[in-house]
A and B are shown apart, each in its own frame.
Chain A
Amino acid sequence: MEDKEQEFTGAQMVMEAFIREGVDTIFGYPGGANLPLYDVLEEGGVGIQPVPPGIVPKLYPIKHYLVKHEQAAAHAADAYSRVTGKAGVCYGTSGPGATNLVTGIANAFMDSIPLVCVTGQVISPLIGRDGFQEADIVGITIPITKHNELVMDVNRIPAAMQEAFYIATTGRPGPVLVDIPRDVLQQRGKFYWADKVQLRGYRPNGTHPDAGEMAKAVELIEKAERPVIIAGHGVIIGNAYEELLRFAEKTNIPVITTLLGISGFPGTHPLYLGMPGMHGMYWNNRAINEADLLIGIGMRFDDRVTGRLKDFAPKAKVIHMEIDPAEMGKNVRPAAALLGDVKVTLRELNKILPPAKEHREWRQWIDDMRANHPSITIRETDEVLPQYVIDTIYRATKGDCYVVTGVGQHQMWAAQHFWYDKPNSFITSGGLGTMGFEVPAAMGAQAAAPNDTVWSICGDGGFQMTLQELATIAEYDWPIKFAIINNNNLGMVRQWQELFYKNNIVSTPLKNPDFVKLAEAFGVMGLRAEKKEEVEAVVLKAMAHKGPVLIDFQVKYGENVYPMVPPGASLDETIDMPKWAPEKVSA
């Protein structure tokens, strides 16, 4: 057959699809079922001989990072996507390789991150027969992917890959999994790449919001006396940073950002108020409940934002800008529903906005609230407060870095005590709340932005869920700065035990390893700060070091995150930071 040479193996088709989709980086882990995908990589550590007969060997110059556990591959691809705006790509083999991806996929699903996960599957005759390392990964991931597919025909691979990228990156983004049996990866077929993807059942929301709803929104803004903006992750995903800034400045409306919306608006801007909700600023929670207009932009009124839903924003009408029709009216019924891409919506809205009002009384009310409630004031003490550590990193870096966090107290402090002026510089697991995200996500961020500084703010609990990746970090010499906020406790859970379970402290104290020695065992510089005066010095030392550094900050035991809305309470019941008795302070 003359055209034999124009045929591709299934694995090569996957590569051809990557090339067309602009993929240059993969995070993954090889195994029996996905070996053909490694056999066509120029790098990747597997042999490429012998050359299959009848075909010109074709190797693809795509960078593959070998992680130590597939969960890390998914988290790294997730963070890579958050930094670049492209789809993140990860590999896993069949069975345990694929199931190890599950947490990472669920994390990306909850935070609307475009991932394309390619898993090897056992050979097609073995499927459904309990083959070695078989797992029904398509069945398993149905509820946590935007879409997924088991590809049983080699000629289907190009379309399946093209659709995967299309679905993952358009509309409200999300993870897509493509599962391909090993024998299908090895078969040959014709590579057909369509000009456009056509799916009858998937038409990402039109980009232009309804004109009638736009007019309603303008009227609401015009009439509002006490308006606030609550901006969410959609601003970052939708690349609407400039548009939001213009919108806020043109209307003179103060801006609150949700946890995932942080760094979607300049942190030091005079209109910026910080985060709302469970650990949000006291003044924000009060302002939301006093407001007569809430403008939700690319956010979904999550329960951590609203507190008890029934008592949320009782005086406010709502303008909701959102790309996902299923989010409209899910938790809060909007008076103006602006369905569409928030970037386009804001751009169009900015053209027809009424002249800005001063909102002097309203802003004064918020300022007074701010002046009279400490919320995040760091108190004077000789002890190493975790908040002080975060603040020191902020002052030392001047905010010019990516901040990646895990989940828990340290995450909340990183959200509260850092003022993010660099767009899209805060990378955190918001929806799923995945402890251990901080280590592999820092890898993904650093791989995406090799010339930027990446600080990974870690909990001592979460860090130990994914610490094996220190080996990966050492191998690729990613100069990530890990700051373990080490209170030798599962701090947030301990806080709940203290406040809501009658201080019954069970299974939250941790017997931690020596993190400095641990880092050194992996070939990573290890530093420790036990006294307040050491904190700044180790931060500066870490910044001066060219390679990866891990710092063990031994912080005060028993520190709680405030303000706090108790679970099930309304925003009006926010507990502000208690008034502390004076503590020992050296002159």
Chain B
Amino acid sequence: MGAGKGECVMATDGAGPIKPHTIIALVEDRPGVLNRIVSKWRQRSFNIESLAVGHSEVEGLSRMTFVVDANANAEQVVRQVDKLVDVVDIRDVSHEDIVAREMAIIKVKATKETRSQIIDVAEVFKADVLDVAPDSMILEATGEETKIDSLVELLRDFEIIELVRTGKVAMLRGPETSHQVPEDEQFERAPGVHTW
């Protein structure tokens, strides 16, 4: 679309393939915040693949990491979410230099015969053993999504009874914080004054 030749360049319009986007948000720790954010993705039928929420370094604010399957319209949704009163800051870090981890707890069938093999696998993946029962074991693994995927694949040979994953948490590399909490600043406003 010949940019720079004086033509009016159109923004993306429903364009592009569906790809996973990693999005991090700093939000007020209040009822309904998640509902408001999720509502924006739901409106466009974008599926949330994973979601992790917890307290941030600032009192009263939570930090969320979303992985959303979306097309190029994700940018527009992010900006609309940013407008929500309860959302302090949000950014799509899919193309930024980040560290990202998730944790999984896996309950797997383990007999006398297979137990040591499972422990071998766990050691390779630096997974901890959380629980051992006569017929089962629980492993805990932390790492990048692909690492967890590989571990899960290997453990399928022993029959997985139950699997739970936290979903991805992500953070920018380097000294900067991912989200700036704004300094208080005030805007001109006179209550109840006719503006027209």
Contacts and interface: CB of A to CB of B under 8 A. Distances in A.
Interface string A294-323: 100000000000000110111111100000
A146 B86 CA distance: 11
Contacts of B9: 332-333
A331 B73 CA distance: 11
Contact of B191 (A22, A203, A330): A22
A260 to B, nearest CB: 15
Interface string A416-429: 00000001100000
A268 interface: no
30 contacts: A20-B191, A86-B192, A86-B194, A86-B195, A147-B84, A166-B189, A169-B189, A170-B187, A196-B186, A198-B184, A200-B181, A201-B85, A239-B196, A294-B8, A309-B10, A310-B13, A313-B8, A316-B8, A317-B6, A325-B83, A326-B80, A326-B83, A331-B10, A331-B11, A332-B8, A332-B10, A332-B11, A333-B10, A333-B11, A423-B196
Given A318-B8, A330-B76, A201 B84 contact: yes
Main secondary structure of the interface of B (DSSP, over half): loop
Taking residues whose C-beta sits less than 8 angstroms from the other chain, chain B's interface range is 35 or more
Contacts, number: 109
Contacts of B87: 201
Contacts of A23: 192
A292 interface: yes
A292 B8 CA distance: 9
B187 A207 contact: yes
A239 B195 contact: yes
A139 B196 CA distance: 33
A166 B191 CA distance: 8
B84 to A, nearest CB: 7
Interface stretch (B32-40, B46-54, B98-106, B115-123): B32-40
A21 interface: yes
A264 to B, nearest CB: 11
Contacts of A424: 196
Taking residues whose C-beta sits less than 8 angstroms from the other chain, chain A's interface range is 35 or more
B43 to A, nearest CB: 7
A310 B10 contact: yes
B194 A138 contact: no
Interface in B18-44: 27-28, 32, 35-36, 39, 43
Contacts of A315: 6-8
A525 to B, nearest CB: 31
B79 interface: yes
A204 B182 CA distance: 12
A544 interface: no
B188 interface: yes
A329 interface: yes
Contacts of A329: 11
Interface string B58-89: 00010000000000000010011011111111
Contacts of A325: 79, 82-83
Contacts of B27: 201
Contacts of A332: 8-11
A86 B196 CA distance: 8
Contacts of B86: 201
A22 B61 CA distance: 33
Most buried by A among B82, B189, B192: B192
A207 B188 contact: yes
A491 B7 CA distance: 38
B13 to A, nearest CB: 6
B97 interface: no
Nearest to A241: B196
Contacts of B188: 207
A204 B6 contact: no
Given A165-B191, A170-B187, A326-B82, A84 B11 contact: no
Given A200-B181, A201-B27, A317 B193 contact: no
Interface in A160-216: 165-167, 169-170, 196, 198-204, 206-207
Contact of A200 (B83, B88, B195): B88
A84 B79 CA distance: 30
